[in-house]
Chains A and B, each alone.
Chain A
Amino acid sequence: MEHELIRTICPYCGTGCGLLLKVTDGTVVATYPDRNHPVGKGHLCVKGWSAHEFVHHPDRLTTPLVRKGDGFQEISWDEAITFAAEKLQEVAAKYGGDAIGGFSSAKCTNEENYLFQKLIRAGFKTNNVDHCARL
């Protein structure tokens, strides 16, 4: 039996409250608010309080899916990235960069979001980039 409390940031929105995830034998079992954290100061909303529930949830997507007919098919990350890159380049070549828009995520780090807007702005030459954490 191994009990650990892992300090982390709530992945749900751009506020970024501090969480302590209680991990028992490698499984995330509970969430506690981090009383040291300068943003949350020991407070959480309902999503933060239940942040441990999605981690091991059976419905959680763990591989990329590609739409095939009416359903989805699991593919590898390499295949997914190649497929997306090809299609995006195709659209950009045909209709111009402004035909493409990118929506980033609050679940990513600053660095990932920086790279994402770089891809959209410098790669596809458009300012159509936004973020769900525009609260």
Chain B
Amino acid sequence: MLEQTRNLARRILEEKQANGILGLAQGEFNIIQPRIFSEPAELEYLVLEPKWPLAKMAMRILRSVPEGYTLAVVCRGCDERAIYELIKRNQIAREKILTIGIACSTAQASACLCERPYPSHLDVGEASAGVNPFEDETVRSLLQGDDAVRMARWAKVLKRCIKCYGCRNSCPICICEPCKLEDPVWVKTGSIPAEMLAFHLIRAFHLSDTCVACGACQEACPVGIPLLSLQLSMRKALQDKYMYEAGIDPAKKSPVLADFFDEPETDRDVPAWVNSLRENHGA
């Protein structure tokens, strides 16, 4: 799989389909870190493990490249979905980016509780079956119970927060500038733990229709808050009610942005609050 990826990357560079390849490099002392490969000879250092989301890094690199520069990114499923979301949000120009899609192993998929451990454009490897995160014991135990029980449970978990902003910083699609979480109107500065509703729920809801379930927030959290579980329910609601999943189709608009009043739903179960909006606000 590694050889195949290197060959593909080499071809992309040699045929000048892209000016650089963003991937992981194993360097001195076997230390692995992201790198832009510009010469085919450098590709002998390219490696595929560990999982290291690169979408946000790609976005930042593409902001400072000269005209006509194209970057190819070695992408796992989650990376590709994040890139598609960034394209939708005009953060990455589509013609500037190429993906080299690699499949995740079954072990990686179960470690991430990933429903789609493969990119839609798969170049290397075989897609392994996804995992239903709602079958996971930890996720189930976090999400079960009535409102009061869940509220108390989350309050206890989120109390550990040291407000490092790692969840926001590591998230590939958390890109608003200025960030609401730095605005004292919403989030009190200079105190920890972060307020549950103001900090965590603003973050969670801002990402409700963009979250690609890569788990970068959870991996970055130094106090082990199960942040991915916070997004999973919203992802599921969008899948069930609107047949929408972030990052799958770069052309499909999020239902939050789409004007669904134009086309009244007849064949699907529309949440009750939509009708209440229509009645109360004459939409």
A: which residues have CB within 8 A of B?
A: 1, 3, 5, 7, 20, 22, 24-25, 29-30, 32-36, 42-46, 48-49
Contact = CB atoms under 8 A, between A and B. Distances in A.
A86 to B, nearest CB: 40
B60 A30 contact: yes
B50 A29 contact: no
A1 B65 contact: yes
B166 A36 contact: no
B169 to A, nearest CB: 5
List the 7 closest pairs (A to B, CB-CB), nearest first: A43-B222, A46-B164, A45-B164, A36-B31, A49-B169, A24-B64, A46-B165
A9 to B, nearest CB: 14
Contacts of B82: none
Contacts of A48: 164
Given A20-B33, A43-B220, A43-B222, A33 B52 contact: no
B195 interface: no
Which among B35, B50, B52, B166 has the greatest number of chain A C-beta atoms within 10 A?
Answer: B166
Given A5-B35, A33-B220, A22 B60 contact: yes
A52 to B, nearest CB: 11
A30 B170 CA distance: 11
10 contacts: A3-B36, A5-B33, A20-B33, A32-B34, A33-B166, A36-B31, A36-B32, A36-B33, A42-B219, A45-B162
A83 B32 CA distance: 46
B138 to A, nearest CB: 19
A43 B194 CA distance: 18
Nearest to A41: B222
Interface in B265-280: none
Q: Chain B: interface residue count, which band?
A: 20 to 34
Contact of A7 (B33, B36, B69, B165): B33
A33 B32 CA distance: 12
Contacts of B170: 33
Contacts of A43: 164, 166, 220-222
Nearest to A48: B164
A45 B66 contact: no
B50 A35 contact: yes
B171 to A, nearest CB: 12
Given A32-B57, A36-B31, A46-B163, 18 more contacts: A1-B65, A1-B66, A1-B69, A5-B33, A5-B34, A20-B34, A22-B57, A29-B60, A34-B33, A35-B32, A42-B219, A44-B166, A44-B222, A45-B166, A46-B164, A46-B165, A49-B165, A49-B169
B65 to A, nearest CB: 6
Nearest to B163: A46
Interface in B126-181: 162-166, 169-170
B261 to A, nearest CB: 41
Contact of A49 (B64, B166, B219): B166
A33 to B, nearest CB: 7
Could you say which of B32, B163, B170 has the most chain A C-beta atoms within 10 Å of its C-beta? Answer: B170
A36 B219 CA distance: 13
A31 B33 CA distance: 13
Contacts of A44: 164, 166, 220, 222
Contacts of A20: 33-34
B197 interface: no
A30 B57 CA distance: 9
B117 to A, nearest CB: 19
